[in-house]
Structure 1
Amino acid sequence: MSITPQETDLFSLLEHRYSVRGFTDQVIEKTVLQEIFQKSQQAPSNCNTQPWQAYVISGERCRQFAKSLAEAIVGGAPSKPDFDVTLGFFDEYRQRQVDCAYALYGSMGIERGDKAGRGAAMLRNYDFFGAPHVAFIAMPKSFGIVNALDVGIYLQTLNLVMESYGVGSCIQGALAYYPDLVRKELGLPEDDSMQILCGISFGYEDKNHAANNTRTVRADLGENVSFYE
């Protein structure tokens, strides 16, 4: 059955979208998958450079890679990201991170002191939360922050296009931590010119998965925006 975008407006998409961390095994039709990524090409970028590169893995290959990736990480594979992933959160930014973790782990019934439970929840990132699709997002290694902003705009566009098709997704910084394993799966050379910035797991939401009950709140406008007259 063919899927078409929902008749909805941008504000509804923004209001109802949330990160999905539990998926059914239903694969998105190839034509729909191509439509989603084609429409996302409309994202703006500096001088129209379109610096993003998306590597999409689907179906059984996606699930097999998830299995091998998780096994490699549990087995002690070294984390060698292509860029500095130090977060350095502080003050209100740190508090928002903590609040997000409380919301997520709380929805799954994982207590603060449950190290094993939290470790298992973290490892689910590398199982792509059971999703039948994953996309790794990259840009040339020679590019910097200005181009990374363009990739961020692309990611938001992709995110909202997926939402308009009824496709759930979760953008994951954690999927940038093992780029060598990703390049090996994709058949790319170790010295490939692209750096892996993040990944996005996506598919149809499993409404019964506890993690999908997680909701976060946004700061009051005055905390993020200043108006000058």
Structure 2
Amino acid sequence: MSYDEVVRGRRSIRGYRPDAVPRALIEEVIGLAMRAPSSMNTQPWHFHVLTGDALDAIRRGNTERMVAGVPQSREFRTGEAFAGHHRDRQVGVAKQLFAAMGIAREDKPRRDDWVLRGFRQFDAPVCVVITYDRVLGGSDDTAFDCGAVATALVNAAWSRGLGTVINSQGIMQSPVVREHARIPDDQVIMKSIALGWPDHDFPANAVVSERRAVGEAATFVGFSD
């Protein structure tokens, strides 16, 4: 694919085929992602790539603890709940997804099941947990750099026919993730990325979230035209 095809064609994938993803292909995708820029070349990121029994154990631990009411324990800052137009965009894409899946507003069981899919990393065959070195935790550049490498990873995956969705639900129960992913204490868990071969028959995979126009997002200063 050309760069434009990757960027314009990529979308979040929430339904996957069960087929395994070759380790060599994942290594190729991560290698491309690691060309992302980082502040003064610090490259603060680490990738913990999970499949099989280890990933299944995290899925179980996440869902069981969340259903039991165990408070979430994300390690990276969560911030305040979205409000205003940011909340409007969040609700907007949720409406698109529920409509695609045929989930009615009053259908609480199916809505709850949809939420649990996130805690199961959307049943993808692979999950990539991104962490950063704890010693860099006071630097805002570190979060920026990890965001850059996550974006590079999802685009690289798409260019190879793989689907992804970046999510935080998969790491809500950090003790479970840390144990089964064997993440050392000197790293902070930041994000998880579900990865696998897209199931093109899964209705939500056809959803393309709306984007603002450039004129709404960008301000140009000093140009003659």
Q: Deviations over 1:50-73 (max 9, x none)?
A: 011111102343234323432232
TM-score, length-scaled by structure 1:
0.89
Paired residue total: 220
User: Which region of structure 1 is more displaced relative to structure 2, 210-219 or 23-32?
Assistant: 210-219
Instruction: Give the match's secondary structure for 1:93.
Output: helix
Structure 1 counterpart SS, 2:120: helix
Structure 2, unmatched stretches of 5+, are none
Q: What is the RMSD computed on CA atoms of the aligned residues?
A: 1.7
Choose from 143, 150, 155 the match for 2:150.
155
For residues 35 and 96 of structure 1, the distance between their equivalents in structure 2, rounded to whole angstroms, comes to: 33
User: Which structure 1 residue ranges, 5 or more long, are not aligned?
Assistant: 1-7
Secondary structure of the residue aligned to 1:62 is helix
- Whole-angstrom distance in 2 between the partners of 1:203 and 1:120: 21
Kindly indicate whether the alpha-carbon contact (under 8 Å) linking 1:27 and 1:59 is maintained by their aligned counterparts in 2: no
- Give the conservation status (yes or no) of the 8 Å contact 1:22–1:130: yes
Paired letter, 2:132? M
Return the TM-score normalized by structure 2: 0.91
User: In the TM superposition, what is the alpha-carbon distance from 1:225 to its structure 2 partner?
Assistant: 0.7
Match of 2:210 among 203, 214, 217: 217
1: CA distance between counterparts of 2:172 and 2:79? 11
Write out aligned runs for 1:1-229 (5 A). Answer: 8-141=1-134, 142-143=136-137, 144-188=139-183, 192-229=185-222
8 Å contact 1:63–1:130 — kept in the other structure? no
CA–CA separation in structure 2 for the residues paired with 1:174 and 1:42: 27
Structure 1 segments, 4+ long, off by >6 Å, are none
Whole-Å separation in 2 of the counterparts to 1:121 and 1:210: 13
Structure-2 separation of matches of 1:122 and 1:139: 27
State percent identity of aligned pairs. Answer: 28
Shift in Å at residue 29 of structure 1? Answer: 1.1
